[in-house]
Structures are given as C-alpha cells and as structure tokens.
Structure 1
Amino acid sequence: MSPVGAALWRSLRAHQVYGANTDVGKTIVSTVLCNAIQRQTSQNQAAFLKPVSTGPLDDADDRHIQRHAAGTWTRCLYQFEEPVSPHIAVQQKKTTIPRDDDILASVHKTLSDWAGSGVSFALVETAGGVHSPGPNANSQADLYRPLRLPVVLVADSRLGGISSSISAYESLVVRGYDVHSVLLFRDEYYKNHEYLLNYFQKKSIPLVPLPSPPPKPATWNVDSLARDEEAMAAYYGRVAQKTDIMSLLEQLNAKNAERIDRLESMARRAHATIWYPFTQHHGMEAKDITPIDSAYDDYFQTFAESGLSPHESKLRATFDGSASWWTQGLGHGNPSLALSAAYAAGRYGHVMFPGNIHEPALSLAELLVQSIGNPRLRKVFYTDNGSTGMEVAVKMGLRAACDRYGWDASQEQISILGLKGSYHGDTIGVMDCSEPSTFNQKVEWYRGRGYWFDFPQVKMSQGVWKIEMPAHLHESLGSDLEFSSLDGVFAVENRLQSAAGKRYKEYIRSTIHGLVHKHGMKFGSLIMEPIILGAGGMLFCDPLFQRCLAEVVRGHPELFDPSATRPAQDPAQDPAPEVETAWSGLPIIFDEVFTGLYRLGRKSSASFLNVDADIAVNAKLLTGGLVPLCTTMASDEIFRAFSSPEKSDALLHGHSYTAHAVGCQVAVDSLQTMIRMERSGSWDGYRQDWTPTQTGTPAGSRGDVWSVWSHGLVSDLSHAPSVDGVFAIGTVLSISLKDIQGGGYTSTAARGLQQRLVSTSDGKFNVHSRVLGNVLYLMSSVTSQVEALRSIEGLLREALLSRR
C-alpha cells in the first residue's frame, strides 16, 4: 500500500473535529458548521465524514447530520453497534480490525473524491476525546496525524472543562497539528467560555461560544424522540440567527488559502534568502527547492504546485531516503520523543553545564557507559554535533600521544593515521584529518595532516560478494576475494589467520615503518569510521583490513616511537588480557557519528571489528533524529592525560548549549527505545531474510549481519546493467552506478536514478534521495514498516531493472 499523504486542497477546506472530552457536542458543532456552509451560497457543498463510529445505528453521528443539516453529504467508514470505545467494539464484534493505514487511506480517498466532486467544506469527526483510542488502541491524535488536517477543537463547558480543553489543545500542538478554531457551549455557571476565550485569544485562535443545546430526554420513546428532533431543529435555527458562525467560516477559509499561499511562495523566498550547505548555487532556481509542509514517520509531506487534478491533494508523501542526512532513527514527528523534549524544556529550559549536573545528562552518560559494550570507555564529554565531537576526540587523542611520547606539538607536526575517503566534519581541525578532496581542497586554512591508507572495498556484483583490492596495491594486498554471503565477509576472527589477513598486516606495518622511520612523520591517533565511510561515498571497507590496522597499531608501539618501552606483540599470537583498557601504539578513535547506534543494525559498529576504541564519537541517531547532540566517550587513561594542577592543561572546549537537557532527555528515551526493540526481536524478520542458507558459513555468524533492505533486492540490483556494485547493511542501501569517467564525488552518474525516484509513475508518493557522485544511497528509520520499504524496492526495481 502506498503511504498516505497529508490532505490539502485549495477548493476543499477540510478540517478535523476533535473533542476535549467525550460528550462535549462534537456532532452538534459539526451540524452547526455544515448548516452554515449550506446557507452561504448555492455553490457551497458541505460534507461530513465519520471514520469510526460506535453505538446504535439510529443514533449515529452521520444520521444526526442527515436529519439536521439537509443536503450535507455524509459517510461513515467503520460502524460498530456496541456503544463502547472503538478498540473494544472491534474485539466484541470479532471482525477483522482495520489497520490504521487502511483507515487513513479511506479517509484520504473519501476527501479526494469529494474534492473532485465540488465539495467545498468537509469535516472529519473523531470519536470521543483527543486521546480516545482507535480500533487498534492507538490514540486518535497519533492515528490521524499523517493527514495533518487543521483542527476544529470542541472544548468542554462542564466542570473541569478548562483543564481538559487546554490539555487537549497542548496534546494536539505537541503532535504538530494546527488548531484553527475552538467552539464550546455557554454555561453561565462555570463560564468556561470566558476563561478559554482569553486563553485562546493570546494564541490568535478564534473561539466561538454557542448556546447550550436542549437537554436530552430522560427516557427514549417515539414521543420523546419526536420532541427531541423538534427541539434540536429549533436550536439549530436559533444558533444560525444569533451566532456569528459565518465570520468563523470566513476565517477558516482564509487560513486554508494562506497556508497554500505560504507553501507556494516558500521556494521563491528561500531562493532569495537561504544559503544551503553542500550546494552549488550557480544555476540553481526556485523550482529546484522542495517545500516541506510537515514530516511524519518515514515521509516528508512535500508541496506540489502544478499539474494536479482537482481531486489530488497539493501535498504528497515523499520517502525521506537520506534519513534526513542520517539522523532519522525513530521516525519524524515521533510523539514519544516530542513529549520527552517538551518535558525537559518545561523542567529545565537550558541550564549551563560546567560544574553542574542535571538528571538527563547524568542518565545519558551512565546509559552509554553501561550499554555501549566497550569496557575502555568510562568518561562522556558532550558537544553539539558530530563535527565538534570529533574535534574533541582529536584533541583527546593527540594530547594523550604527545603526553606519553614527550612530543611538543607547538614545535613539530603531529599527524593522524586514517583511511582514504574519510570525512569527519566541516570544522577546521577535523577537516585536516581527511585527505585532500572536493570537501576541503578550496578551504583556505586546510593543511591535511595525516596519512590515509587505501583499502579493499566490499560490494555485491553479479550476485557475488566481492572484496576488491585497490588496483595499485594488488602486489601488496593480493587478488580480489569472493564470498557467498555477507556473513563470510564479517567472519573477522576466522579470517585473521588467512593469507589476506597476513598480507594486510605486513602491508600496514611496513607502510607505517616507512612513514615514521624514513620520512620522519609522527602520528598522534588512528581515526576510522568503522565499516562504512559515509560522506566519502558510502565506501564499505573490508572489516578485516580495519581490524588488522587496529591490531598493528596496538601491537607495535615501537613503530611510532623507538623509545616505547612496551614490547611489541601480535595480539593474534599473544592475546591481550580479557579486559584491556590501556592504549598502546596510538589512541584509536572511532568516528561512529554515522555508523553508530543501530544505523548498521548494531548498537556499535565497532562490534563488527571486535575492537574496543579508546575514544568513540556518537551523534546522528543519538536523539532519534529530533535535536542535535553529540557524545565523545573516552577511557580513563585518555582522561588522565588532561589532569594537572594547571588550568591550561584541561580540555578547554565547550559550547553554551553543552549537554542541553532537551537533547539529553530525548537521547535517553531514544536509546532505551532502540535497546528495547533489539531485545524484543523487532528486527528478527530482517535477520531471517539475511540468514545464509548455504553450507560452510562460519559458526556463530549466521544471521549476524542483516539489513532492512531485502537480500533479494540487493542480489537483483547487482545484476542490473548500469550498476557497478551494491550493498546493504542495517538501514543503509548503497548503489554504485557505472561511470566511464571513473566515479567520485563530482560524478553525475547517479543523478538519472535520483530523478526517476522523484518522478514516480503512480504519482502517489516519491522518494527523496541524496547522491554522492556515482553513488545513490537510501536509508530508513529503525522503525520503518516492511510494506513501506518493499514499496521503495519496487521503485528501484522499476528504475534499474525494467530496461534490461
């Protein structure tokens, strides 16, 4: 099933009617509004939709509309006769429970049909209060959120109604709804309308008090029913004469038009004022900018300006294929995380951090130390984002190395060891930790302080997992390797003693020896992005090569300083103690900003290598995609390198918003959610899809490496004529397109595929994606639904395989 887009038409003003509580008069308010629409002009047509209704059919809300708002189109999608909550009604009826997606799709289709049939005003009325459960026991506020219809809130005029009305309003706002109006009945004793009028006026939301309806009969029979019908008919006539509903309808109409006008102008206004990151603006036009009205789950709701028929919404669901630049973990608009952020904002706002502690920062630090799985990491340093977190990591590593080896960085250059294609951020310090590239070669302060190893890369091609050696290193590293499964590639412990493992180690050791002892270079840290080098082009490094690099660095301290007193050892031959926390050779820094915290299907991507870093940096998924936050974790030994009586020896790095409470609280809840998902087996279906079936797979590795993207898709795409290689791991799918120019960041080979995903054939949804030269990648959330992912896979198959 295609995802449901948000609902927005210029010709149809559609609103969702929510109640602050049960029995507050939602249907009476709906009737008043529909009557007013019908009276405006002969061209106006009102419609009323009740997605889910419970209770006797004769007393159903759509029947009431038919009796008292003549000419209004009405429809009820799911009717249950028991007068109980929908989630109980479906159980008592023992019928197939309609999925939330099915309810949404039915609502959207009904509104679309009405938009194409001349309906000018439509109300979608909920059941009960804002958080009354739907058929699947999910809060209505969450069930209907993807539609993001503007809300008509019916407040509560009874005792306690002020509190319930404001609570309902705040619940809607936290979920990203726009409340366009509030209506409630006058009660001259409690006078809730007077208090709420003042409350909502401050928020520029119109409130209209209505006369109280006649009381319901104490008993129901033919006579009382007839009297009630007469009384209600008289009531609606009185409301029409004495209440300025027409003015409210004009305001609702204006707000609908203003919303569309704002969306239509956004691209033009952005083109005039915004300087975008990683964007060459030369030749860029306003039409190249995509207005996003909202986002929910895995999808943006993007605005379409033209080419639409009257029944098509101006908003279309667009799969967020870059996971909003790798941050999205638990879905856009996640109500739990939004509530966590609101709680911390309400409890703290922001409080300065040095010398203080607050519960969210302490809880997050303890959770990371206890759960990350690295016994070396004992201290947590907070920063704002991945780049600044890596700045801190480099400061930590270089200080520790200089302290141990007695180097003076003010008198000599201290470099880093890394991998070609590495990218650790845009700030000046970490920019120097990457080799010259498109990202930094024109940055005036860039100096490039390091040596970067070329390395073997993993991909699937023609249905086979291949490890391709750099062409100029075949003599040193040997021939390309092939594996029948991805688990075989990751069987690092088994591969260590292979011919490839031995060649890797000797090549690394001899290279470092030459750099230090022949060229006089001094290295202060080894920095790696475990498994996948992200911004460099989704480069999938052979995990064995990274493991060997770490082992050579740790096992041969004499490579970096002849006076190193620790005897050289090969950990593969002489294993270190079970828990080793002291660094040897160089401090090892793992940049897990992109690859950490379940992006690759595991809490830490370092676990694929079975290497415990001395310093590790996490960001991106840390807060589930909601707010910026970064942690740099370090060992006690690294921490002690900054300890002295002198203030100048401290780690003098920080930000005004260091360890901001909102980010820390959201991160705690995000991490706990992902940990629960792992423990509960939420991803077991994906694991089974990737479990090797062939014999010869190393023991203990079956199903250990998996992806949300189907194994069949990866295999099929690897045979596509235009595909050079493909891989998937965790939530990441990477497709390298063939390019006669040789590929690289400046390549345009992937843009054709990118455009085909934007311009999908069915028009119901499309895919936003980013390209890195000849590489197009897609990422999902860890909460993505299988059906949604398989729909995306269908688009990829159509784009890459249909022309074979």
Structure 2
Amino acid sequence: MRQVGSVLWPRLRAVQVYGANTGVGKTVVSTLLCKALRKRLPDYNVHYLKPISTGPVDDQDNRHITRYSRDITSKTLLQFDDPVSPHIAARISKEPVDDQSILTRVYEELLGYATGKDAVAVVETAGGVLSPAPSGNVQADLYRPLRLPALLVGDHRLGGIGTTISSWESLHVRGYDVNSVLLFEESRYDNHTYLKDYFKERGVLTLSLPPPPEVNSSQAEDQKAMQQYYESASESPSLEQCIKHILHTHDQRLASLQALPKRADKSIWHPFMQHTERSEQNIMAIDSAYGDYFQTHNSAVSGSKEGNQLKPAFDGSASWWTQGLGHGNPALALTAAHAAGRYGHVMFAGAAHEPAVSLSETLLQNIGNPRLSKVFFTDNGSTGMEVAVKMALKAASKRYNWSSDEEVLILGLKGSYHGDTIGTMDMSEPSTYNKKVEWYSGRGHWFDFPLVKMKEGKWIVEPPAGMEEEFGATRSFSSLDDVFALSGRKADAGRYEAYIKTSLEALTAEGKKFGALIMEPVILGAGGMLFSDPLFQHMLTKVVREQYPELYGKPEATPDDELSWKGVPVVFDEVFTGLYRLGRFSSSSFVDVQPDISVHAKLLTGGLLPLCTTTASESIFEAFLSPEKSDALLHGHSYTAHAVGCEIAKYSLKTMKEMDEGATWTRFKSAWTQEDNAEQKIWSMWSQDFIRDLSLRSNVESVFAIGSVLAISLKDPAGSGYTSTAATGLRDTLLHDSSSENAIHSRVLGNVLYLMASMTTPPETVASIQRKLQAAV
C-alpha cells in the first residue's frame, strides 16, 4: 500500500471543508464554493469529493452538488446506507474500514485531479471536526496525514461561537492550516461579527454568507428556492475573497517551501556539518511531519507543473534518537497544550509542581534500581551528563579526601561520547568531535573492549585488533540471547576481569586518581554505534567497585550498606539507550548492573520537547550536604523541570509502558523467539532474516539490531571511523530513490549507516524499509 503523506500539487488547489458541528451547512457552503469557483475560474476543472457519506444514496451530498452546480465533477468514495455516524454505520455493515485505506483512496483521487489541466478540489468531511471516522478515530486525526488546507464552516446558531472556536483549536493544535472560517449571517446571535474580530487577532480570514432560505413544504418549491439562492449567493463578495485567499495561500505555500533552503543557507549555522560542503541543493526543506515520516520538498519535481511537491521520507534517525510516539501525535500535542495552559513555565528553585514530582516518582519506580532515590532535572543529554560527572567527582573527592588541586580522572570506554559541553567532552577520548576544541584536555582513561556484531550470518563477540591475548579469540554464538547470558560465560568473565585489574593497577601505580566510571550501556551511540559486549561492561563495573581501597586510597569512611557507592561512583549514560530504545525501560538491565547515577533524555518526552533527568543514589546526594552553600550542587537551568516537558514525559512513559505490557510489540518479539527458548529476552523491530541477509553482502563488514536500532558497518579500504565516507553513498541512494513515492532519511557515522524506528512504527512499515534497504545495499 502506498505511503500516504501531505499533498501539494502546483496544478491542484485543494481545500478540506470541516464543520464546527453537524447541521452548520457544510454542504451548502461547499455548493456555493464550487459554483463560485466555476464562475471565477472558467479554465479550471472543479471537483467535489466526499470521502465518507452515510444515509440513503438519494441524499448523498455529491448529488446535491450535481443538482445545483453544472460542469463540476462530484464523487463519494465510501457510502454507508444507514443514516448514522460513520463508526456506527461501519459496525452495522460489518465491513470495518481502516484509516489507511480511506487515506489511500482520497490520495489516489486527488492525484487524478492533479494531472493535466489546472484544477480545484473541495473535499467535504462528515459531521463535526471531531466526529468519528469509520474506524472510531476522530476524523481530524484520520485526515491529518494529508494536511490539506482547511476551511472551517462556523456555527451560526445559538452557542455557535464556542463550538466554532473549539473546532478551530482542535484543528490548529493538530497542525492544520485553517486558512479561513465561513459562516452564515444570523441577526439574532450575530456570531459572525464576534468571530471575525476573534479570528482576526489570530490571522484567520473570517467571512460571512447570506443564510439559505427556510425549508419549504413542497420539494419542488424548496429546490427552486435553493436554486435561486445558490445563483445569487455564489456572487457574494465573501466567496470572491475566499477564493482569492485559497489561491494565494496555495501559491504562497509553494513559494515558501521552494525558498526555504536558500533562506536557511543565508541564516542558519547547522550542527555537525562542514559548511564548505553545504549548499542550497543539499538542505532538505521539511514542510511538516506525521507518524514515522517527514514531509519534505520533492526536489525531483521542483518547478514542475506535475507531481506532488511533497514527498514522505521515513525518519530513519528517529529525529536524532528522540522520536518515540510518532510525529504530530495529537495526544502529545494536547498534553503539552494543557500543561502550557495550566503552568506555562514556573521556576523550580525550592518549589514543586505535580508534573515534576509525578515524573520523578515514575522514573524511580520503573528504572528498577533500588540505589536511585533522587532526580535532578536539566534540558538535554549533554547537560544531564555534565551534572552527573559533577555529582560523581564531588562524591569521590569528598570520600577520599582529595584536595582541589589534585587531578581527578574518569574511567570509560573507547569510542564513547557523552555530549558537546566542555565538561562532557573531557569525559571522552580525543576524537573528531573534540580534539580541536581549544579547552579540551581529555581527562580519563578509556578501555578498549570486545564488540558484538553479526558477521557473515553469525553472531560473534570480536576482540579489538591485536588484543586477542587479553580478550580471547573471536567467539560465535547461536543467538543474541546467548551473548547476554552473562552467568554462563565464565571463561570470558575471567579474561575480562584479569585484563581490567591489570590495567587499573598499572594506572594507579602511575599516581592517577579516578573519580567515576562512565559508560553508555550496551551501545555507544555517537562514537559509531558500537555494540559493546555486555559482559565486559558488567565485569568492568564489578572490578571498579570491588577493588578499593587498593586502587583509590583509604576512604574517610567505609559505606556499610549495599546501596551506597563503592570504589568510585558508576554513571550510566542512558540518554540514547534507555526508555525502551533497546526494548527495555532501562538499558542497565542488559548488563546486570545498577549504577549509582543514570541519565535519561531523548525518548523521555516522546520526541516533542527537550528534557533530561539525572537520577542519583542517596549516598551521592548526601555528599553535597553541608552547612556551607558552596558545597551544594550549584547547577541549574532557567527551564529546570519545565512543567510542559514533565507532563509530556509522564504521558510518554505511561504510553510506552502500556505498549510494552500489551500487544503492540508482540509481532516483533515473537519473530525473535527461538524454538528452543521460550524465555527469549532480546528482540528487535528489525527481523533476524533481514540482518542475516545484510551481513552476507560483500560490501558489508557487519550489522546488528536490537530494539528499534539497526546499524550497518560498510567496508572501507581506507579505514573505518567518523571521517570515513563509505556510508554516504548508501545514505544518498535511500534519500533520493526515485523508484517509489517515499524516501528514507538517514544519518551516517563514518562507515556506519544506522536506522531507527519510533516505538510506534508498525511492522508493515519496518518490512517496507527493509525491502528498500536490501535493494539499495
């Protein structure tokens, strides 16, 4: 089935007619509009489309249009005989109709109008803005993927001011462009006068029309009266103004979209881009987004009179790893609107509000780590990690009584990267990201480690080149579950433990002091999608915690409870890997470790707003307690614990937990279940057959998938790493594929191309992306 996205054809000016309520005269307005369009645009084809209709065939709205308007094509796509709401009619007919099939039919119909002669299409909805579709979803959500310009027919009756404003807000919060509001003049209530003033402040054109005649007892007289009404009212100056506005906004939208890259090239400094390589031609203009797809400017048909100017592009990076519940999610938008209306932003110094407190309780309960007891709020992963290292180094320095002039380092993994602030940069080894930053000094030691990958059809754990003696030779595993069966890998555990101890003893013998162990559980993201052997991370934590005071010095006081940090504080950067990205709420469970500090962002707000939490143990918190203000954690942001972000995060976590406990991911999970392993624990949205097939390709070095993450390492004779260009060709092929309606937008990390689904991506979409990727590779 075609992936339906937003529509914008140069030759077709389309408008979708919504009603503020039932009985407000949508069909009368649509008839007037069609007649006026026919008169004012004699060289255009004029089309009327009713996607869904209920009731007798003789009462179909498209027949009304045909009766009173000549030279206009009119059509109903889906007709139910019972004169009831579409969701009830579909239930009675026992022919359930899904939203996607309706969208596809509407799209195909409009596509037929858009070819050849210039045309205008009036698409009339059924009932009110939030009336149910056949599926039971409200129709404002049903049609949202098309994002057609909307014309709202206001309610001229008693109480109509409220219903009209509410309907406009419902469309507006869902991302519709409501270009105009039309309603009949009614002298008793004068709704049109009030609404003109109200919507003028919001930039919405509001126009009034003469009311239709009263219904006559005689059908013949009624039709004659309506014929006369349509002839006279279609000459209304309001309709003339409305048509001009429809045409103007259409042309303006086209021009704005086409000009966007040039405007951006003049004023925008893009992140992670060498601007000597940037031009207008390689800046992607995004008109909107919905579900898993961006709606991008279709450069292949730019300037052409034919072809949709918008092309769906699968958001293959989940918008830099943040997208969890789909773009344009109406529930998230409404949640944000409510919190904004209730709070806006309120300062958080010494204060509390329900969204922040509830979110903190939810995180502490669901992470499942009894060590953690406090939540500190920041705005993104970099600043959350900045706070984490402040917490850890303070606690370690205080316990070991290190002076302020002693250099305290961190322990981590090679290839790790924890953010772009100066402090977080120093937690990573020199790399393309940081080594040319003037203040960078790289304060730490980073362990090399074995990698998990599928290579030539087999799951393997591969040691770093030249380190087979320390880590052992490459080992094959029958499944990914076997890699994560840590307790059964005793030989590997012994080798890892010996290597780590020897390394730490040598470092401390040099007089180096370490105040924290900082790791990304399972996958190191920005460093190149490196899948670390979970057993190595487990053993590194175990050794770091157990080898004291030999490694770190004699502490001021030895903790006597199991929940206090030991050795040095262990910090897990779960900004990318946490909150179901890998299939579980907390990625620390994969390595069977309970950190003393963990950081969560990205999926926290479902992809809508920036928010980050740094959770810490009580023993970390107590390290900052003192009579002196200067000993406090003097860190904060103006938007700390932003109420809107916290409320959205609560909703996002609740929704993803329900998905995990329900059937949403069942098809993905069952596809990864081994016949001899009913307790399958590791699963992915990407199929095992698919990743095995990719791993056998001659140009693929290795591949892996877990949760929603897929990473493909391509062979590069010049060497792998961030500066490699091996994956750019594949990225460009996926983006500019002209063989289908939708493209795939992806990001590369050197020779690694990765793709990431959102947590709501359906299996059918994943299967489609897999087919395209197999063809491209």
TM-score by length of 2: 0.98
User: Aligned AA for 2:247?
Assistant: N
How far has the Cα of 1:567 moved from its partner?
9.4
Equivalent position of 2:55 in the other structure: 55
User: Aligned AA for 1:317?
Assistant: P
In 2: Cα distance, 1:566 partner to 1:466 partner: 43
How far has the Cα of 1:625 moved from its partner?
0.2
In 2: Cα distance, 1:98 partner to 1:312 partner: 28
Equivalent position of 1:154 in the other structure: 153
In 2: Cα distance, 1:681 partner to 1:489 partner: 26
1:500 and 2:492 are equivalent in the alignment: yes
How far has the Cα of 1:479 moved from its partner?
0.7
Equivalent position of 2:591 in the other structure: 609
How far has the Cα of 1:710 moved from its partner?
1.1
User: Aligned AA for 1:64?
Assistant: H
Equivalent position of 1:678 in the other structure: 660
1:85 and 2:76 are equivalent in the alignment: no
Matches within 5 A, 1:464-479: 464-479=458-473
How far has the Cα of 1:243 moved from its partner?
3.9
1:588 and 2:567 are equivalent in the alignment: no
In 2: Cα distance, 1:349 partner to 1:246 partner: 41
Question: Is the 2:87–2:132 contact (alpha carbons within 8 Å) kept by the matching residues of 1?
Answer: yes
Equivalent position of 2:548 in the other structure: 557
How far has the Cα of 1:204 moved from its partner?
2.2
Matches within 5 A, 1:541-690: 541-564=532-555, 580-690=562-672
Equivalent position of 1:375 in the other structure: 370
Equivalent position of 2:277 in the other structure: 283
What secondary structure, in the 3-state scheme, does the structure 2 residue paired with 1:282 have? helix
Matches within 5 A, 1:115-130: 115-130=114-129
User: Aligned AA for 1:151?
Assistant: A
In 2: Cα distance, 1:799 partner to 1:623 partner: 33
| Structure 1 stretches lacking a partner, 5+ long | 219-223, 569-575
How far has the Cα of 1:335 moved from its partner?
0.6
In 1: Cα distance, 2:691 partner to 2:299 partner: 35
Equivalent position of 1:434 in the other structure: 428
What secondary structure, in the 3-state scheme, does the structure 2 residue paired with 1:669 have? helix
Equivalent position of 1:235 in the other structure: 229
Question: Is the 2:710–2:755 contact (alpha carbons within 8 Å) kept by the matching residues of 1?
Answer: yes
Question: Is the 1:748–1:773 contact (alpha carbons within 8 Å) kept by the matching residues of 2?
Answer: yes
Matches within 5 A, 1:351-366: 351-366=346-361
Question: Is the 1:559–1:585 contact (alpha carbons within 8 Å) kept by the matching residues of 2?
Answer: no
1:9 and 2:9 are equivalent in the alignment: yes
Equivalent position of 2:171 in the other structure: 172
1:514 and 2:468 are equivalent in the alignment: no
In 2: Cα distance, 1:233 partner to 1:493 partner: 83
What secondary structure, in the 3-state scheme, does the structure 2 residue paired with 1:91 have? helix
Correspondent of 1:339 among 328, 334, 355: 334
Deviations 1:399-423 (A, max 9, x none): 0100110011x21110000000000
Equivalent position of 2:241 in the other structure: 247
What secondary structure, in the 3-state scheme, does the structure 2 residue paired with 1:241 have? coil
How far has the Cα of 1:6 moved from its partner?
0.4
Equivalent position of 2:451 in the other structure: 457
Equivalent position of 1:398 in the other structure: 393
- Higher mean C-alpha deviation, range 680-689 or range 322-331: 680-689
In 1: Cα distance, 2:709 partner to 2:83 partner: 47
In 1: Cα distance, 2:692 partner to 2:134 partner: 39
In 1: Cα distance, 2:116 partner to 2:17 partner: 22
In 1: Cα distance, 2:702 partner to 2:383 partner: 33
How far has the Cα of 1:741 moved from its partner?
1.3
User: Aligned AA for 2:136?
Assistant: A
In 2: Cα distance, 1:242 partner to 1:600 partner: 60
The ranges of structure 1 where at least 4 consecutive aligned residues each deviate by more than 4 angstroms after the TM superposition are 308-311, 564-568
How far has the Cα of 1:565 moved from its partner?
8.5
Correspondent of 1:737 among 703, 711, 714: 714
Question: Is the 2:399–2:557 contact (alpha carbons within 8 Å) kept by the matching residues of 1?
Answer: no
How far has the Cα of 1:119 moved from its partner?
4.6
Deviations 1:625-648 (A, max 9, x none): 000000000001000000000000
In 2: Cα distance, 1:58 partner to 1:243 partner: 32
In 2: Cα distance, 1:424 partner to 1:241 partner: 65
User: Aligned AA for 1:55?
Assistant: G
What secondary structure, in the 3-state scheme, does the structure 2 residue paired with 1:394 have? helix
Matches within 5 A, 1:766-781: 766-781=743-758
What secondary structure, in the 3-state scheme, does the structure 2 residue paired with 1:244 have? helix
In 2: Cα distance, 1:227 partner to 1:720 partner: 75
Question: Is the 2:401–2:556 contact (alpha carbons within 8 Å) kept by the matching residues of 1?
Answer: no
In 2: Cα distance, 1:561 partner to 1:669 partner: 43
How far has the Cα of 1:358 moved from its partner?
1.0
In 2: Cα distance, 1:7 partner to 1:441 partner: 45
In 2: Cα distance, 1:186 partner to 1:250 partner: 21
How far has the Cα of 1:283 moved from its partner?
3.0
Equivalent position of 1:108 in the other structure: 107
User: Aligned AA for 1:228?
Assistant: D
Deviations 1:44-64 (A, max 9, x none): 221011111101111111111
In 2: Cα distance, 1:594 partner to 1:283 partner: 28
Give percent identity, aligned residues only.
Answer: 55
In 2: Cα distance, 1:184 partner to 1:724 partner: 64
Question: Is the 1:760–1:795 contact (alpha carbons within 8 Å) kept by the matching residues of 2?
Answer: no
In 1: Cα distance, 2:467 partner to 2:533 partner: 14
Question: Is the 2:387–2:635 contact (alpha carbons within 8 Å) kept by the matching residues of 1?
Answer: yes
User: Aligned AA for 1:511?
Assistant: S
In 2: Cα distance, 1:192 partner to 1:629 partner: 42
In 2: Cα distance, 1:206 partner to 1:306 partner: 34
User: Aligned AA for 1:198?
Assistant: D
What secondary structure, in the 3-state scheme, does the structure 1 residue paired with 2:312 have? strand
Question: Is the 2:382–2:418 contact (alpha carbons within 8 Å) kept by the matching residues of 1?
Answer: yes
Cα RMSD of the aligned pairs, angstroms, is 1.5
In 1: Cα distance, 2:244 partner to 2:402 partner: 75
In 2: Cα distance, 1:207 partner to 1:172 partner: 16
Question: Is the 1:114–1:311 contact (alpha carbons within 8 Å) kept by the matching residues of 2?
Answer: no
How far has the Cα of 1:124 moved from its partner?
1.1
1:530 and 2:521 are equivalent in the alignment: yes
Aligned residues: 776
How far has the Cα of 1:217 moved from its partner?
4.5
Question: Is the 1:557–1:566 contact (alpha carbons within 8 Å) kept by the matching residues of 2?
Answer: no
In 2: Cα distance, 1:214 partner to 1:674 partner: 53
In 2: Cα distance, 1:244 partner to 1:687 partner: 57
What secondary structure, in the 3-state scheme, does the structure 1 residue paired with 2:234 have? helix
Question: Is the 1:38–1:46 contact (alpha carbons within 8 Å) kept by the matching residues of 2?
Answer: yes
What secondary structure, in the 3-state scheme, does the structure 2 residue paired with 1:583 have? coil
1:421 and 2:412 are equivalent in the alignment: no
In 1: Cα distance, 2:210 partner to 2:633 partner: 67
CA gap 1:544/1:566 in 2 versus in 1, 3 angstroms:
farther
What secondary structure, in the 3-state scheme, does the structure 2 residue paired with 1:725 have? strand
In 2: Cα distance, 1:59 partner to 1:502 partner: 80
How far has the Cα of 1:311 moved from its partner?
4.8
User: Aligned AA for 1:236?
Assistant: Y
Question: Is the 2:181–2:204 contact (alpha carbons within 8 Å) kept by the matching residues of 1?
Answer: yes
User: Aligned AA for 1:657?
Assistant: Y
How far has the Cα of 1:564 moved from its partner?
4.5
Correspondent of 1:318 among 304, 313, 321: 313
User: Aligned AA for 1:27?
Assistant: T
How far has the Cα of 1:533 moved from its partner?
0.1
Question: Is the 1:112–1:311 contact (alpha carbons within 8 Å) kept by the matching residues of 2?
Answer: no
User: Aligned AA for 1:553?
Assistant: V
In 2: Cα distance, 1:483 partner to 1:672 partner: 35
Question: Is the 2:522–2:532 contact (alpha carbons within 8 Å) kept by the matching residues of 1?
Answer: yes
In 1: Cα distance, 2:247 partner to 2:63 partner: 26
What secondary structure, in the 3-state scheme, does the structure 2 residue paired with 1:118 have? coil
Equivalent position of 1:787 in the other structure: 764
In 2: Cα distance, 1:195 partner to 1:290 partner: 41
In 2: Cα distance, 1:465 partner to 1:564 partner: 43
